[in-house]
Structure 1
Amino acid sequence: MISTRNSYVSKMVNDLQPSGIRKFFDLAASMEGVISLGVGEPDFVTPWHVREEAIRSLELGYTAYTPNAGLLELRQEITHYMNQRFGVRYDAHNEVIVTVGASSAIDIAMRTILDPGEEVIVVEPCFVSYVPMVTLAGGKAVTVQALKENDFKITAEQLEDVTTPRTKAIMLCSPNNPTGTMLNKSELQAIAQYAIKHDVLVIADEIYAELAYDEEYTSMAAIDGMQERTILVSGFSKGFAMTGWRLGFVCAPEPIAEAMLKIFQYQLMCASTMSQYAAIEALRNGRPEVDEMVKSYRRRRNYIVQSFNDMGLTCHNPGGAFYAFPSIASTGLTSQQFAEQLLQQEKVAVVPGDVFGTSGEGHIRCSYAASFEQLQESIKRIGHFVESLKQSV
């Protein structure tokens, strides 16, 4: 029998760190009575009429593969949606690919554009998979920190500071996971000017585009001169409460989309057929439910941000997504220490900010995609925990 040893695993994979989000999620799942503010997943169930459409597709026997790029009917609905909601026009035949979640879209985007050693600027704090996906594609991730003092917004000047002749793209997420920060049109324009000046691509993760609370969302692809150099990634998980359906999409200029499709053909063949029929229904008739979810999230955001500030954990007001990112620096604990002790003592699961990059240290990520009652109880427990820390000094 061959013994198991790390020498059978590539050095690149050996060096990858497990997801810091999953670490706390798995730990919380093993404990009784835990309220989890850890995983970024809507607490809403996918609307019945969307689920019903998937059931109908099964009853009709639509169980075969779809075209690699996805059902043309769905791609047409995506292009209509992108035009109506964000003012961006795409060709459903040549510029849209339906993927297995937004993550697979980012993965094939990285593998499509990167030659060994080329660099992608990754704005931190960021979702935990961005840097590993650059690495797995043979590229080099160059991180730049969006700072708390600037409400976690990146500037073109910061991008200039890390640009080299090997810079190929910027990885940008707005609204951001984990901070909830959303870039407005003028801020996107400044980044666009940088991208055009240096002839670099922008991989725009816009999975949270539907969850904007204070102003209209602007897509990077809608900025003048940017559609031709933007790989736009989105999907149905967050805004349409369809996480388990594993369905995303990518819109890109035809030469890039054509190259991405070659990889997708070998990687995953096509997305789930039943999920695609459900997504068609979501795009056509799901707007009322999306609007209700946004209304509920806005109320929860206002409550949790105010509550954190009231207890002395300074928290900026996130413009989108469903995350609060309060500072825990006043407690004297590291992000890891705070999250671990909070879970053990008060049974509330949050994610330590340092798993999202160096600039996340001193913060925790709290998803407010939980019921209002759960949020109230979790705030009560966190407040008790913070008070206990003050008394122990």
Structure 2
Amino acid sequence: MRVIVLGAGAMGARAARALVGLTGIDALVVGDIDLGAAERIATALPRAVPRRVDVTDAAELRAALAGADTVLSTVGPFYRFGIAVLQAAIDTGTDYVDICDDWEPTLRLLELDGAARAAGVCAVVGAGASPGLSTLLAAAAAQRLDRVRHLYTAWPVDSTGPSTEDAMAGAAAVHWMHQCSGAVAEVSDGAIVHRAPLRAVTLRLPGGRRGTGWTVGHPEPVTLHRTAAPSGESACLMLLRPATAAYLDVLRRDIDTGRILPDGAALLLEPPSRSRVLRSLPGAFARPGPGDLPPFFAAADGTVDGRPVRVCARLETDDRLLHDMAAVTGVPAALATAQLPSVRTPGVHPPDSVLDGPRLFADLAVAFPGTRVVVEEEAGWLTE
């Protein structure tokens, strides 16, 4: 298989490194508008060549994709570039994988399903960590139930290990501030709704685990609404220390009232604004924390033979991996790309509708020894 990775940033570089070590990858192109960045990655990898690709140049983009079987796009923000790259893949008959973690462009990408089907193109959107691994964990949890009521995914920000805020920079930080402000998509009573983010959700998981996560804008609810069809609530949760949740809520309110733009809020993540830290102190002492919730998991409840059952599917791995955004996003995307020849289902899909979850997690354990999925269940509901 001939693959082109678009984007020579940290995640594209990590995906490219993973791809060259996988069976079935015969040739790899690293494409970026910055040819020098592409060259630095490609020259260090066997069977890889660099190429200048400007995704805003329709002719240049299509020429690059025409020589590939599959494109893996790490070029964000996806609300600006996602549709253009997927449309080019459809036009050139190139299979497609991306790491889109924004719910609004995810919905727009899914609208190209008919065009992809007609062109015989298989596209998988959101195949990184969250969404991606989180979506596959949600599918593993939901499969234990006859009927799904609530369904949540959760990932750590600073509840364990080093702070994700420290790793947030540039476009990633601005994106995060967008998803922590305004209104975001969730599922309520089985339907898509729009709510303010940073809403507390307290969960009771199997084994007596209990804690609180905070809602954030992400694609999981809008795709799981289609694939798992929860009849109750579904949201993506951040696991935060109380002080972090309170500080983010101050930034959220300042963004929503127009006192600051998301770009400006991103600059106040590290170092934090002293005045806003002071404003957040009352909330820091009043908000609940993540308790003993696992760092990366999906949880579902529903019924089995008419009885209430709660299920948790969690990823056990080194905490350092969960806070290495490039690795935990780029490697799963590469593994998803390698699966496409065996999938070959035309259309635009979320990961859980076409990918082999157990195979992907098994491959992840090869890349990161000691990684495994643990699924636990017991009688009862997730929420009181």
Do they superpose with TM above 0.5? no
* Structure-2-length-normalised TM-score: 0.31
* Structure-1-length-normalised TM-score: 0.30
Considering fraction of residues, name the structure with more helix. Answer: 1
